Structure 1
Amino acid sequence: MRFEFATATRIVFGAGKLKEIGSLAHGFGQHVLVVTGRDRQRADLLLELLKREPGILTCTTFSIPGEPTLTTVSNGVDAARMAGCDLVIAIGGGSAIDAGKAIAAMLTNEGELLDFVEVIGRGKTLPNRPAPFIAIPATAGTGAEVTRNAVLSSPEQRVKVSLRSPLMLPRLAVVDPELTYGLPPALTASTGLDALTQLIEPYVSCRANPIVDGFCVEGMQRVSRSLRLACFTGQNKAAREDMALAGLFGGIALTNAGLGAVHGFAAPIGGMFPAPHGAVCAALLPHVMAANIRALRERAPDG
């Protein structure tokens, strides 16, 4: 048996932990770029808390209107450089976190994004360590707070591609379930089903290992008992905590054991159609599982 395991340098989990962000961010940098999704209000408390921290001198806000594109990330890098930012903090869903991750990576590396992205780019290795990056998820599902890639859209080619490097793992992930209490049922469902997919696929991956298996089993159990509760009783603290943990565990699992055919199909579909990633995964999951089970039975009928 051979495997490796990597995750964010530090993970801080718990209801109300966002309130500690000032002290947690201390020492990472003095000029912060705060990356948010289309709802800037999600960052209001974060900005207020950062301004109270004596070590933080300036905060610049950069919003992602939807899924991050190569152009959006390039604009974010320009904004960060103009403001002299030396720390990137992203708060929001997977789009905001992936955008922040990519901006932090490009902030310290010369060249164009196309030099480094996969599929449509040159896929070069990032030579320099990214600027310090802190991820604060405000949804429960993508696991982007503990992954080493950023998924970016290229509308011109109608594809999604990754900027990927072991150096891109966040320095700090702050996972506060309280940030998800107000999520609407549809968003709770789609992100939760993304989390479930990212727990099932690594568990049955050829790269699975005993460490990842533990995260997957624990995460699947939590989704099973809490996703419906989180959807229909959004203020249920235990259910929201379960789903925040499941999303975190899914991110850890996929980083270390990979994914499967669901995400293999979801990537091009997501590039071609404006459909929520979690909803696409949910639609594909039963069909892919059925195909996998059928193949296993044909390969090992007595297994």
Structure 2
Amino acid sequence: MAVNFSFATAGQIIFGNHTLDKVPDLVAGFGKKVILVTGKSSLRAEELMAKFSPGTDTILFKVPGEPTTDLIEAGVKLAREHNSEVVVGFGGGSVIDSAKAIAAMGTNKGELLDYLEVIGRGKPLTERPLPCIAIPTTAGTGAEATKNAVIKSPENNVKVSLRSSQMYPDIAVVDPVLTWSMPPALTASTGVDALTHLLETFVSNQANPFIDMICREGLTRISRSLRKAFTDGADKQAREDMAMASLLGGMALANVKLGAVHGFAGPMGGMFPIPHGAVCACLMSAVIEENIQALRNNKLDSSKFDELAKILTGNEKAMSNDAAIWASELVAELQVSTLSEFGLTQKDFPLLIEKAKVSSSIKGNPVELTDEQLFRILERSL
């Protein structure tokens, strides 16, 4: 069968230790009026801002947690009033998603709800977003290479996306040095997020040889380095591997849909105060097992899971179920909190299943799962 695919990513990717030093000149290339989006601690952002060209008019916008519809609207209002010429996102996935959303809405008329998926009107962007520079300080979301921003709607208890092919950052600056200070718990949760991105896109029903190539590289780096980065944050090679894997995961998920893990992650994150990485960690093994069994029951090809097992374990004799075992053992070593610790119980399963089935991500699952199969995933992940 002839190979047929398309691929898109950030306009330019600059990767390597100390590449943050290039940012002041990159910003100057877009203009003098800058909105710098950062996390709840702005120390590093202020240090970066001090290096901008003389005469640069910069305002800080803090994203203290996961972006909400109200927070994004406040950022958009600030950017419009400031007449910002460029948006810089300097932080984790929530910060970069916020920067992309502010850049998109900074030039497009109307309200955020006009453009949001699921709960909004889903209108396409008609104007090119403001230039956006994405600088990740964590290694997991890959948001620097994606075309969407995940935003929580407190009113609807769900996370949804603002999505457009115009929302890829103009420049992604990936400096592994910025991740050296990540504490073990954050290293674990973001690392599992990157792992899940690569894992789900690798077995996605939309996968293609180009995506497979990206995923094999990313999965190999994670399999050898996530544990090392967790136990020894000063391991520079492990940090570089994780930064690269995160970037590759973002590139992959921007071009093919994910699967059941992320199908559940959106509604679960909207209903409970569960970190996204923890959701991925808790669901990953059960989703692998259920997908393998569903493929076999439907007499469909499950060889991708055999290959996945070989990559993750480093054992050429590994078979598909070994991937689930490896994932389960990894999560135990990383000491990730369980879903029940955040208040999730079986009574929440029907609503979670209902919401997951209409999510965008689950459309990439390698096989369509029944309500019963989705229930079993939640039951085993609790």
TM-score (norm 2): 0.77
In structure 1, what residue type is equivalent to 2:41? D
Give the unaligned 5+ runs of structure 1: none
In structure 2, what residue type is equivalent to 1:280? V
* d(CA) in 1 for partners of 2:48, 2:209: 37
CA 44–235 in structure 1, closer or farther in 2 if over 3 Å, else same: farther
How many residue pairs end up in the alignment? 300
Q: Does the aligned pair in 1 maintain the 2:204–2:258 contact within 8 Å?
A: yes
Corresponding residue of 2:177: 178
In structure 2, what residue type is equivalent to 1:12? I
Corresponding residue of 1:74: 73
Corresponding residue of 2:32: 30
RMSD over equivalenced CA pairs, Å:
1.2
- Give the C-alpha shift of residue 9 in structure 1: 0.4
Matched, 1:127 2:126: yes
| Structure of greater relative contact order (alpha carbons < 8 Å, 6+ residues apart) | 1
CA 262–301 in structure 1, closer or farther in 2 if over 3 Å, else same: closer
* d(CA) in 1 for partners of 2:196, 2:44: 26
Q: Give a deviation string over 1:163-213, Cα, whole Å, max 9, x none.
A: 000000100000000000000000000000000000000101111111111
Give the unaligned 5+ runs of structure 2: 303-382
- Give the C-alpha shift of residue 152 in structure 1: 0.2
Q: Give a deviation string over 1:44-91, Cα, whole Å, max 9, x none.
A: 3321222xx25x621100001110011101100111122221100001
* d(CA) in 2 for partners of 1:74, 1:299: 46
Corresponding residue of 1:259: 258
Q: Give a deviation string over 1:223-262, Cα, whole Å, max 9, x none.
A: 1111111111111110000000000000000011110000
* d(CA) in 2 for partners of 1:301, 1:106: 43
Corresponding residue of 1:136: 135
In structure 2, what residue type is equivalent to 1:68? P
Q: Does the aligned pair in 2 maintain the 1:29–1:132 contact within 8 Å?
A: no
Identity %: 57
Corresponding residue of 1:203: 202
* d(CA) in 2 for partners of 1:150, 1:301: 34
In structure 1, what residue type is equivalent to 2:29? G
Corresponding residue of 1:168: 167
Corresponding residue of 1:290: 289
In structure 2, what residue type is equivalent to 1:15? N
Match among 43, 47, 50 for residue 48 of structure 1 = 50
Q: Does the aligned pair in 2 maintain the 1:130–1:167 contact within 8 Å?
A: yes
* d(CA) in 1 for partners of 2:232, 2:44: 21
Q: Which aligned runs of 4 or more in structure 1 are off by greater than 6 angstroms?
A: none
* d(CA) in 1 for partners of 2:260, 2:237: 32
Match among 21, 24, 32 for residue 23 of structure 2 = 21
In structure 1, what residue type is equivalent to 2:195? L
* d(CA) in 2 for partners of 1:144, 1:111: 25
| Secondary structure in 2 matching 1:182 | coil
Corresponding residue of 1:117: 116
* d(CA) in 2 for partners of 1:61, 1:248: 25
In structure 2, what residue type is equivalent to 1:23? D
Corresponding residue of 1:157: 156
* d(CA) in 2 for partners of 1:172, 1:288: 34
Q: Does the aligned pair in 1 maintain the 2:295–2:301 contact within 8 Å?
A: no
Matched, 1:85 2:84: yes
- Give the C-alpha shift of residue 302 in structure 1: 8.7
In structure 1, what residue type is equivalent to 2:266? A
* d(CA) in 1 for partners of 2:145, 2:128: 16
Q: Does the aligned pair in 1 maintain the 2:27–2:86 contact within 8 Å?
A: no
* Structure with greater Cα Rg: 2
Corresponding residue of 1:233: 232
Q: How does 1:3-14 map to 2 (within 5 A)?
A: 3-14=5-16
- Give the C-alpha shift of residue 107 in structure 1: 0.4
TM-score (norm 1): 0.96
* d(CA) in 2 for partners of 1:300, 1:274: 39
Corresponding residue of 2:247: 248
* d(CA) in 2 for partners of 1:302, 1:132: 43
Deviates more, 1:157-166 or 1:75-84: 75-84
Q: Does the aligned pair in 2 maintain the 1:42–1:92 contact within 8 Å?
A: no
| Secondary structure in 2 matching 1:61 | strand
Q: Does the aligned pair in 2 maintain the 1:191–1:278 contact within 8 Å?
A: yes
CA 261–245 in structure 1, closer or farther in 2 if over 3 Å, else same: same
* d(CA) in 1 for partners of 2:58, 2:21: 17
